[in-house]
Structure 1
Amino acid sequence: MKLFREVVAVAAKDVRIEARSRYALGAVLPFAATVLIAFGLSIGPGRTLLQETAPGLLWLAVLFASILSFRRSYEAEGEDGALEGLLLAPVDKAAVFLGKAAAVAGQLLVLEVVVVLLVSALFGLSLGSEPAVLAGAFVLGTIGLAGVGSLFGVLTESARAREAVFPLLVLPLATPVLVAAVRATALATGSPGGGGGSWLGLLLAFDVVFLSTGTLVYGYLLED
């Protein structure tokens, strides 16, 4: 129970910072929309091809948005020495990891609602085939990205070229999450074939691995 309260406190702090800066609304959302429009124009006007590629484009935009969100989250902590304060604070370091992951995951889920509606309007993506699988894909996929991003965000905070190092570390580990999320989303939006549940199970397994690993090692990374 104490861990839960600490997680909520850390997440609430990050949400308040985001509410004041409005970085997600002012920078991340327009960037994600621009990515979708640019790729859509490059693919061409073919409606069938746009619908087939829509799940991949959607998750590509989410990936880029998550990288921007995590970089901003840790930059805000580093600007005023807040990371050192977290290190000295009498809270479980696992709560810091989970709280920061939860805050960015919440922001991404809100952003994803807008992005999904945009993709549906631009590419004619059907949202009603398997809504439960679609919702599960976004929730579990976002949690997986949040776990990876929160873990490597603190690891690269002290790096000189952290803007370049962070994506290089995140992308390889985020790839299996993206593959599973894209496949589950494609099946949920009308692609032939079943097995959406198996992809959700794979996403859940990734989430457990990433969150468990982060909970165990985050304190050591924060101290370093």
Structure 2
Amino acid sequence: MQVLIANHGAYLSGIATTLWLCLYSGVLTLVVGTVIAGFRVSPLTPLRAFGTAWVTVFRNCPLVVVLFFMAFALPVLGLNASYFVFGTVGLALYTSAFVCEAIRSGINSVPAGQAEAARSIGLGFTQTLGLVILPQAVRSIIPPLGSVLIAMIKNSAIAGAFGVGGDLYMTGTRLSSAQGEAVVPVLIGVALGYLVITIPAGLLLGYVERKVAIAR
């Protein structure tokens, strides 16, 4: 407990950095996942093929491999950025495959008659998807989407291992190695830090889910 009290500032800073990492990754993964889900249900065969390939690659490729590619392969190809940027993008791309499947399942839960009615009044595919299908699909999307986002927060620890800097994972590593603090109390502090993030996030998602359920 003394370790936690003496280093509370470092833990708070680590929580803040992890929150920013998860916030940027969450926004990016929702945008990319929604676009790929649209590709997956598109009437155009090339878009469906691209969406299927995207999900197949990222869903079956370990996050560590994705982050290795972002951190070490992209600089060799001439794309340079901070490890924070690489970690954010890698985490978002990996999670986007799972977000896509959650959104696609919600889209498939909407009766086909809704899309047919939209087309009958002259709406195109993009308009039908954005104005008719997705607003109804939100009700069934939120529970699986919430689980994916919570998993993304926990996966941010893996991104931290690639030198993001200042996040909870690196805070624990620095305290236990560079400063020689006892490993067990340090790890307990790191675990508590992630709980500080994930528990409120889970409660917020549960509240949103209940509000949507009431609105049905």
TM-score range, shorter chain: 0.3 to 0.5
Q: Please, what TM-score do these two structures have when normalized by structure 1?
A: 0.38
TM-score of the pair, normalised by structure 2:
0.39
